[in-house]
Amino acid sequence: MKYRSKKGQLPFVELNGEEIADSAIIIKELSQKFNHDLDAGLTTEQRNLAHATISMIENHLAWVVMWWRTKYPDQVLKGYKVNLQHALGTRIPNGVLNFFFKFAFGRKGSKKVKAQGMGVHTPEEINQFGQEDLRVLKDMLADKPFFFGDEPTNLDVVVFAHLAQIYFIDKEVSYPLRDYMTEHCPNLVGLVNRMKERCFPDWDEICTTLDLNSHLPKPVEETKEEGKGKEEKETEKEKEPEDKDIEKEKTDEKEKDKAKEKESEENKEKEGK
């Protein structure tokens, strides 16, 4: 399983063997490939508003979330219930993996957050930034099911992708931004759940198994008894040719013995004459 694109980014997809990174480029490429534009019904003004809002989310709110992750990497593991051993498909003990994750992710991530500018502020200021972004989204959505009406657009997709990372953090883990969203932005919570049910009806299974294609049919696994039955049949089939060879050898030996007996009798008759 690959965890980074060639550009070192997440998310990324592979389409017909071609790797596509960055969510905006992914959406654009998929829209062209499948001839389906989620923003087809939007006016120019709505498209511009969506573009500006997505820029706010990706270049501001996302860094608020990233700051929290790099500041509290142990809370990230607990909040998202990450089993690194399972996720990475390795037998290295989770204790070792968790230690490495906290050290590498926290240290490298904090440098990026500081370089971006978000990391130089106090925790209180950063949380305030996040709350202000959520208020903007809350006011834009108002009482509509989606930002521009009854059907989701690219803006709804981007908002869901980022807010889901805030809202679905385990309740046992302290996270002020999630608590603010839950208490003061119920319409955003509703949007997240609508998008989840619409796009990921197998959400729980995906989160449990980490199988992104859980909706596809899987080959039926054999039970132990069925497996034993098949093995016995295969063994019997393998034995059949051997048994036939043995029978043939016995038959040949009998025929040889008969031939020898016949030859012996003929010799005796000749001697008697």
Q: What is the chain's pLDDT, residue by residue, as a tens digit (273 residues)? A: 455 566 666 667 777 778 887 777 888 888 888 888 889 999 999 999 999 999 999 999 999 999 999 998 888 888 877 777 666 778 888 778 777 777 777 788 889 999 999 999 999 999 999 999 999 999 999 999 999 999 999 999 999 999 999 999 999 999 999 999 999 999 999 999 999 999 888 777 777 776 666 666 666 665 556 555 656 666 656 555 555 666 666 676 777 677 667 666 666 666 665
Question: In terms of residues, how long is the chain?
Answer: 273
Query: In this structure, are residues 196 and 164 in contact, taking their beta carbons and an 8 Å threshold?
Result: yes
Which residue stretches of the chain are H helix? 23-33, 44-56, 62-71, 73-79, 84-88, 94-116, 123-141, 154-167, 176-184, 186-199, 203-209, 224-272
What phi-psi label fits residue 9: left (phi over 0), alpha (psi between -120 and 50 degrees) or beta? beta
The amino acid at residue 132 is: E
- Other Cβ atoms less than 10 A from the Cβ of 126: the count is 22
Tokens at 252, concatenated: 């040949």
- At 20 the three-state DSSP class reads strand
Query: What does the alpha-carbon distance between residue 268 and residue 270 come to, in Å, rounded to a whole number?
Result: 5
Task: Check residue 156 and give its pLDDT.
Answer: 96
